[in-house]
Amino acid sequence: MTITFTMPMVLPSVANISEHWATRAKRAKVQRRDAAWAALHAIGLKGLRFPLRVTVTRIAPRMLDSHDNLRASAKHVVDGLADALGLQSDRDTCVEWRYAQERGKPAAVRVEIGEG
């Protein structure tokens, strides 16, 4: 079984942003909360079995220049997904995390959660 959902969300290249710490903290909190809520809503009572494969796809008009920037931009989304899955952290070995990006408008994040 695979569960797919899309959230309207901008994932900026955090490695290239110079911003106040409070602005960064607020964005992190909102992204984590929204990702957890969307995942809980999408999963519902479906009962997923571990191990899982989770793919986080950043959809934006411009592509990020490196895989490191992509992972960093999705950090708080992944943390929220880990919260929703009941994991202690995103380092838990029962979930394989994958990252992808696509060109598109409007900015969004697509999440695919699959067993296996």
Provide the residue ranges of all domains of the chain, joining segments of one domain with +: 2-115
Residue with tokens 């900026």: 12
| Residue where the block lists tokens 């911003």 | 19
37: part of which helix (H) or strand (E)?
Answer: helix 21-43
Q: What is the pLDDT of residues 12-39, one digit of tens each?
A: 988 878 889 998 999 999 999 999 999 9
The architecture that CATH gives domain 2-115 is 2-Layer Sandwich (3.30)
Pick the closest to residue 89 from 98, 79, 102 (CA basis).
79
Note if the pTM is more than 0.75: yes
Please tell me the distance from the alpha carbon of residue 5 to that of residue 109, in angstroms, as a whole number.
8
